Chains A and B, each alone.
Chain A
Amino acid sequence: MITIRIPTPLRSMTGGKSEIEGKGASIGELIEQMNADHPGLKDRLCDEQGEIRRFINVYLNEEDIRFLTGKDTPVKDGDEVSIVPAIAGGAHD
């Protein structure tokens, strides 16, 4: 099993869970399976081309998958995947 850490904005899609478990041989397969369990999750993570959205970092054990082999990055039992929205903010009204 692979542990996936879910950031607060996406927890509404995982029944409030901050961690879910998943299976798959690659990050791409893991995302498909997460989406089967939690419909709509893939849309929040990936753009229309299927790439990870440019304000989201997906880390496999602390390394951004963009610097590994993206969605083809292999995953194995015991791995930890973290989904982290890049920092943002807004000025005062």
Chain B
Amino acid sequence: MIRLRGVTKRFRDGAREVAVLRGVDLDVAPGELVAIVGPSGSGKSTLLHVAGALDRDFEGEAVVAGTALGGLDDAARAELRNRAVGFVFQSFNLLPALSALENVMLPGILRRPGPDGRIAEIRARARDALLRVGLADRAEAPPSRLSGGERQRVALARALLSRPAVLLADEPTGNLDAASGADVIRLFSELARGGVSVLVVTHEERVSDAATRVLRLSDGRLG
């Protein structure tokens, strides 16, 4: 579940202050797949970072997976991201030195108070997650040997390892061909049907077609 109320985000650009978000209200219920569209530079990524507890200074109210973000310290926000939020990016953002499986293990490795004694268990869960996205046979491959579609599915498996309540995707199909993009969108829909709150930023019609709701971000406001 995501709930934003009156979220305003300003960036300081030298002496000038620019408000990228101006009082955004947004609700994404469990089971919903909400698409946000808008031109480049309209603040879509910024909105996603606020909703994902990656951004620390904004005005307004944000509640993610039942936790109010206001007043959380760095460690608490990190823990919230780790347990409740899955991120998927346009450029995949896999760690190149790790295998697909190790990339998927990362949220488990970063689990607090720690993965002590559970590395083997994390590995097993990571294999399950790869199986869910249809990549069980590519577990040991480094990202450089995967196709774009495969990479994005590894990134999705990584986002799902902690069974997050919220999935945030920033232009997830932007670097994919039509077929791979369709695969990824299908997986998003499945997740939403499974009760996850899915928020996808996109400017592609094929994504918004799959969404339960489409919102447009312009002039820092959602409509």
A and B: interacting chains: no
